[in-house]
Amino acid sequence: MTTVLLDRPAVAAADAPSRLVDPFGRAITYMRLSVTDRCNFRCVYCMAEKMTFLPHAKVLRLEELDRLCSIFVGLGVRKIRLTGGEPLVRRGIVNLVHSLSRRLRSHDLDELTLTTNGSQLSRYADELAACGVKRVNVSLDTLDAATFAAISRHGALADVLAGVEAADRAGLKVKINAVAQKGISEDCAVPLIRWAHGRGFDLTFIEVMPLGDVEGAWSQRFMPLAELRANLSRHLSLLPSLYRSSGPARYWQVEETGGRVGFITPMTHSFCDSCNRVRITCSGRMYLCLGNEAAVDLGKVLRESGEDHDVAAAIREAVALKPKGHAFGAREAGAPRGAARSISVTGG
């Protein structure tokens, strides 16, 4: 495998005056990096049918993304999740993963992982595992091929299922993420749980957020997870679980399957108190919160300065802008307002 990337050291601890801590005392140790805003799917709650993507010149080269990651690692980031758009459609992505894996080997990074739609995993699962990736999150809302095609617009369920199998065979721990949707999850959630647990995968549902200029009203899709849980309880016995991951999900144990279901409720419950993450777009814009517009253009600093400490200083300034929590204000009549940018910009 070729390593095209610079072997820059992470900013030495001595050059990093202190770790990243936001104004509310939360240490920033988790970075989500959207490596591309492009995707081979057009999920209805995520993207418009016709999307305008960033011009290539604005997108940071893999070497630049690698440099940015190194600077964050030097500032105390311990976990990096590559996302998108679809991270596995970015050309050369495995080279970036391979390069970042040296931070795993040096124990500067605890975890390098990905969120993917799964469609390219058949091709990449083995290489990802060889690079030290241990887990992948695969987004999958339904096992019904027609419903899947309608949600993803451009996707084929068979490709995703083949990708999941490939990831499993490669020894990657798979977690399934499903967006709860009115009119869909009522029928699709139970088979999805049984399938995931039958294969030993965790599964997490998330409430749909009002993000991006997508067709259709958010309120027509929104299903509070309390409603989904009530619906599931008609078919499965759900027992509250004390299990906690590092993320915002709350878990329930499913008696019939022996597996766990997570619920992430950005719309109905706040979980921001323990937020330890920042999000970087493929052009190097750093967002402090999915549901907030505060951002700093690190890409500009990175391209204008050869000095990592200038970028580190810009990161510190950005962290000072981190809001206490996300806010979805009114946009559609009677519905919350989200950010105008799609989640495909900042990554899920």
Binding site for ligand SAM (CB under 6 A): 39, 43, 45-46, 83-84, 86, 115-117, 139, 177, 179, 206, 208-209, 211, 343-344, 347-348
User: Which tokens is 305 given?
Assistant: 């300065």
CA 241, 45, 124 angle in degrees (round to 5)?
75
Closest CA to 189 of 225, 136, 159: 225
Residue 137 C-beta: closest distance to ligand SAM, Å = 7
Residue 342 C-beta: closest distance to ligand SAM, Å = 7
Residue 10 C-beta: closest distance to ligand SAM, Å = 26
Residue 139 C-beta: closest distance to ligand SAM, Å = 3
User: Which tokens is 138 given?
Assistant: 């695969």
Give, as one character, the DSSP assignment of residue 115.
Answer: E
Shorter beta-carbon distance to ligand SAM: residue 2 or 52: 52
Residue 214 C-beta: closest distance to ligand SAM, Å = 7
Residue 83 C-beta: closest distance to ligand SAM, Å = 5
| 3-class DSSP state of 197 | helix
Shorter beta-carbon distance to ligand SAM: residue 90 or 98: 90
Measured CA to CA in angstroms, residue 135 lies from 128, 139, 163, 279, 296 at distances of 9, 13, 13, 19, 30
Shorter beta-carbon distance to ligand SAM: residue 102 or 250: 250
Identify each DSSP E strand in the chain by its residue range.
Answer: 30-34, 79-83, 111-116, 135-139, 173-180, 202-207, 238-240, 250-254, 260-264, 277-280, 285-287, 295-297, 329-330, 336-337
Shorter beta-carbon distance to ligand SAM: residue 74 or 163: 163
Residue 209 C-beta: closest distance to ligand SAM, Å = 4
Measured CA to CA in angstroms, residue 247 lies from 79, 238, 272, 273, 341 at distances of 12, 20, 10, 11, 23
Shorter beta-carbon distance to ligand SAM: residue 43 or 315: 43
In angstroms, the CA 202 to CA 173 distance is 9
User: Which tokens is 325 given?
Assistant: 């929590």
Shorter beta-carbon distance to ligand SAM: residue 229 or 303: 229
Q: How many residues does the chain have?
A: 348
Shorter beta-carbon distance to ligand SAM: residue 295 or 345: 345
Residue nearest ligand SAM, CB atom distance: 348
